[in-house]
Amino acid sequence: MRHLYSGKVRELYELPDGLLLLVATDRISAFDHVLDPPIPDKGKILTQLSLWWFAQLAGIVPDHLASAPVPAGFEGRAMVCRRLEMIPVECVARGYLTGSALTEYEQDGQVCGISLPPGLADGSRLPGPIFTPATKAPRGEHDQNITAAQVARELGQDLAAELERITLAVYRRGAELAAGRGIIVADTKIELGRAADGTLLLADEVLTPDSSRFWPADRWQPGRRQPSFDKQYVRDWLTSPASGWDRQGPFPPPPLPAEVVERTRQTYVEAYQRLTGLTWA
């Protein structure tokens, strides 16, 4: 295998037959930093949950999976994939107001150029899911929210419309399935790429705790930060006085305490089990 790329969480290799091997590590990132120590089983959970979702979404959008065995030593945490020309836009769908969307809304009542009703709070359900694309920033820099019109200017109106259609369709299907399992999908981010024949394919990961905000439906209460089944627990610890870390400072985040590591692992396991109905061994 030939190593091609290291991301915050994933390693990418080229196999001898030209296919790609996408390996999910146990690394966890927050605020554009890779944190220490890693979260045990995280890479396998992300991979297995993505594979489950690819099957649920097969009728909506094809995916990048190739019919080839995963090489020995990478079982459970890797996918063999087709090579794609990746679309240089983060495709984000939101059904609830939180995160960077809340920050934008509080400034002018809009998110990515979309006007929203007045009086919304952190965690409020939106009138309907919205497409809120973002730039793909280089490692160490922040993605920036942009408008659908900006995507159309950069990529063309037809492609921009298709990105929006697929993103919202994936979100709606994911939100529908998760709702039946007591989970709210507040928002999600997907990656899309073109195959050699021009077909748009779903790539990377989909509807995981790394790429989505999952909230327990029975504890949802607008006007506050929501309990979650994702890495928000890590973000909350990093921004608490307990971490002693100033996000504006030049030094990296401190190591995660053992209890934060274990709680995060349990959160990922619970997300997997509740969504799929399967037991994590």
pLDDT in tens, 106-118: 999 999 999 999 9
Amino acid at 136: K
pLDDT band with cut points at 50, 70 and 90 for residue 146: very high
- Average pLDDT of span 109-136: 96
139 pLDDT above the threshold of 60: no
What is the per-residue pLDDT across 256-271, written as a single tens digit (0 to 9) for each?
Answer: 999 999 999 999 999 9
pLDDT band with cut points at 50, 70 and 90 for residue 141: low
More confident residue, 246 or 219: 219
What is the per-residue pLDDT across 31-77, written as a single tens digit (0 to 9) for each?
Answer: 888 999 999 999 999 999 999 999 999 999 999 999 999 999 999 99
* CA triple 6-9-10, angle to 5 deg: 50
Q: In this structure, are residues 268 and 205 in contact, taking their beta carbons and an 8 Å threshold?
A: no
pLDDT for position 31: 85
Token code pair at residue 103 = 């920050």
- Average pLDDT of span 270-277: 96
pLDDT band with cut points at 50, 70 and 90 for residue 232: confident
CA dist list (Å): 184 to 110, 172, 222, 238, 265: 22, 11, 13, 24, 20
143 pLDDT above the threshold of 80: no
pLDDT for position 237: 93
R_g (Cα) of the chain, nearest Å: 18
- Average pLDDT of span 189-205: 96
- Average pLDDT of span 141-161: 91
- Average pLDDT of span 170-192: 97
Q: In this structure, are residues 167 and 60 in contact, taking their beta carbons and an 8 Å threshold?
A: no
CA distance 27 to 139: 15
Computed over every residue of the chain, the mean pLDDT equals 94
**Closest Cα partner for 111 from 122, 103, 123?**
103
Q: Which of 59-73, 82-96, 127-141 has the lowest mean pLDDT?
A: 127-141
Upper half-sphere CA count for residue 192 (Cβ side, 13 Å): 24
